[in-house]
Structure 1
Amino acid sequence: MTSSNPRALAHLLAGLALLLAPAAHAQAPLNLPQPSPAVRLREAFSTTFVELAYSRPSLKGRVAFGGLVPYDQVWRTGANTVTKIRFGEAVTLGGQAVPAGTYALLTIPGKTDWTLILNRDTAQWGAYEYKQSLDVLRLPAKATKLAAPQESLSLSLENLRPAAADLTLAWERVQVSLPLVGNPDPLVLAQIKTAMQGEKKPYLAAAQYYYNSNQPDLTPAVGWLDEAIKANPNYSYYYWKAKLLQKQGKPQEAGAAARKSLDLLAATKNEVAKDEYTRLNVQLLSEVKGKK
């Protein structure tokens, strides 16, 4: 097309303008508040972790259970895609064994009795394609009444201890909990066995684990502290040796170790450690005094 045909050129330019118009009027995306915000919660638990991924719907003046969420029907336990829970190690949930892995967490709400479901299909949207044949387990749970209403759904680990917690759902005035328990002993004892074959042996940490987890035979732990003391006589090593000997029912030996710890504390320049371990050793000595 040349300038010798101005009418044709005008039509061509008009056509191009129409083609380009949508791009010229394209709207910029906005970052808006989400009606059901996505949450990813990861808690250290036992020797690994528990992870929850879900979307949190809100009441907004509506009724949750028996309204937005019908009773006695499988629910995604949240909004949008199905809620997921991941266990970094094998656990028991509600008294039932669960292998390590990621599961869809679904529920069947009732007025007083709920069912919690772990399902293998973690890619499902909502519960529209839920298949009971893919269930790993179903667990009964009781619903309790919250003192105050909760606006948005919450999934969490409550009453968290080193290897135990309560997996808890709370929304509106409803709370549902199931006990979650880890079994760290086999994993930790295997780690200790391997570490004791290496160059940097975790004498103190291993001995403390034996004490805190109430291992039936504390003799190896006392031996590890003896090895640590040979390399570096230290007030903390002697204190923990005293604790182990006390638990073994050897009060005189425990007292001797505690007194040795106090002797070594006299030379330390760390006043905070000196005060703390002095108090701990004096307390232990008072507990074993007069015992045979």
Structure 2
Amino acid sequence: MKRFSTILVLIGGFVGTAALPAQAQQQLSLPVMSPAVHVRQAFSTTFIDLKYSRPSKRGREVFGKLEPYGKVWRTGANSSTRIKFGEEVKFAGQIVPAGTYALFTIPDPKEWTVILNKDTSQWGAYDYKPDLDLLRVKVKPTVLTAPAETFSLMLENLQPEAADLVMRWDKTQLSVPIVADADARVMSQIQEAMKGDKRPYFNAAQYYYNTDKDLGQAVKWMDEALKQQPDSYYFSYWKGKMLQKAKRNAEAAEAARKSLELVKAEKSTPLREEYVRLNQQLLAEVGKK
């Protein structure tokens, strides 16, 4: 019995030793065929976040062959593509609450289906469940003059509250408009902030200027900002821009001259020269010297 146990121990030792080379193999760093991408884009008052993997064409015909027409596609490689909205948006005209969604598509020669699905944990589209769709929209593809070797999904044509989600691969391009409505949210923030001790006079004034709201109110806020920082050539310049937009040219010129006087104390030569140039340009635009 003792001899039998000894034999078992020896056999176990040989088995363990034989297994060691496999367990101790060095890991290799190999090229990734479909590298992962994470894009976080500031958008409206929050962001849009994209996570996907980028397959390449590598001599293959993609749509209709590699990715069949009429079949749900993960819109990339590996795990399903995910898109996250930091605030409510309209996706091709349909309301999408803030949150994370899986982005699927159904390729078609004439009209693709773009899908936002609530299940973000999938690998590929093998367990895709249409009953978890948040929405489906139809998008007409365009033909690229030069084929795109590597799949890309990007936010393009960025504006303060709008962007296009653009997909390109092989000879195909899709574009889905995304629009936010931040104005009500920003106006509510301004109203609430103006009740506090640290009132954002300059930021609120700039928002009114950029969105063509009450310029008289914007100028009043700039006056308050200048009471807090009377030596700010930057604030004086922007007060002049707001007065110019309100067609109060004589006052705009006065603000520009004040900014020119204040900027003389700026120690940074590039900044000083830049605001001398900007104020001189403002004076020329309002017809003053």
TM-score calculated relative to the size of structure 1: 0.88
- For 2:53 and 2:285, the matched residues in 1 are separated by 52
- For 1:182 and 1:243, the matched residues in 2 are separated by 27
* Cross-structure match for 1:31: 29
Cα deviation for residue 18 of structure 1 reads: 4.2
Q: 2:189 aligns with which of 188, 191, 199?
A: 191
* Cross-structure match for 2:218: 221
| Aligned residue runs from structure 1 range 89-238, under 5 A | 89-214=87-212, 216-233=213-230, 234-238=232-236
**Matched residue type, 2:223:** D
Q: CA RMSD in A?
A: 2.2
**Matched residue type, 1:118:** L
* Cross-structure match for 2:16: 20
**Matched residue type, 2:113:** T
**Matched residue type, 1:68:** L
Q: Say whether 1:242 aligns with 2:222.
A: no
What secondary structure, in the 3-state scheme, does the structure 2 residue paired with 1:25 have? helix
What is the percent sequence identity of the aligned residues? Answer: 54
260-269 vs 80-89, greater mean Cα deviation: 260-269
220-229 vs 264-273, greater mean Cα deviation: 264-273
Cα deviation for residue 213 of structure 1 reads: 2.4
What secondary structure, in the 3-state scheme, does the structure 1 residue paired with 2:141 have? strand
113-122 vs 140-149, greater mean Cα deviation: 140-149
What secondary structure, in the 3-state scheme, does the structure 2 residue paired with 1:62 have? coil
**Matched residue type, 2:156:** E
- For 1:59 and 1:270, the matched residues in 2 are separated by 51
* Cross-structure match for 1:48: 46
What secondary structure, in the 3-state scheme, does the structure 1 residue paired with 2:237 have? helix
**Matched residue type, 1:221:** A
11-20 vs 219-228, greater mean Cα deviation: 11-20
Cα deviation for residue 138 of structure 1 reads: 1.5
Cα deviation for residue 68 of structure 1 reads: 1.0
- For 1:10 and 1:190, the matched residues in 2 are separated by 82
- For 1:90 and 1:116, the matched residues in 2 are separated by 18
Closer, same or farther: CA 111–226 of 1 in aligned 2, 3 Å: same
What secondary structure, in the 3-state scheme, does the structure 2 residue paired with 1:73 have? coil
Closer, same or farther: CA 57–267 of 1 in aligned 2, 3 Å: closer
What secondary structure, in the 3-state scheme, does the structure 2 residue paired with 1:149 have? strand
**Matched residue type, 2:220:** G
**Matched residue type, 1:282:** Q
| Structure 2 segments unaligned to the other structure (5+ residues) | none
Cα deviation for residue 100 of structure 1 reads: 0.8
What secondary structure, in the 3-state scheme, does the structure 2 residue paired with 1:207 have? helix
Cα deviation for residue 181 of structure 1 reads: 2.1
* Cross-structure match for 2:7: 11
Cα deviation for residue 15 of structure 1 reads: 2.4
- For 1:268 and 1:18, the matched residues in 2 are separated by 80
Q: 2:287 aligns with which of 281, 286, 289?
A: 289
Residues 174-199 of structure 1: per-residue CA shift (max 9 Å, x gap): 11111222223233333333333333
What secondary structure, in the 3-state scheme, does the structure 2 residue paired with 1:76 have? coil
Cα deviation for residue 127 of structure 1 reads: 2.0
Closer, same or farther: CA 117–12 of 1 in aligned 2, 3 Å: closer
Cα deviation for residue 81 of structure 1 reads: 2.1
How many corresponding residue pairs?
285
Closer, same or farther: CA 228–21 of 1 in aligned 2, 3 Å: same
- For 2:52 and 2:229, the matched residues in 1 are separated by 50
Cα deviation for residue 165 of structure 1 reads: 1.8
**Matched residue type, 1:194:** E
- For 1:90 and 1:20, the matched residues in 2 are separated by 58
Cα deviation for residue 169 of structure 1 reads: 0.7
Cα deviation for residue 167 of structure 1 reads: 0.4
184-193 vs 103-112, greater mean Cα deviation: 184-193
Closer, same or farther: CA 260–133 of 1 in aligned 2, 3 Å: same
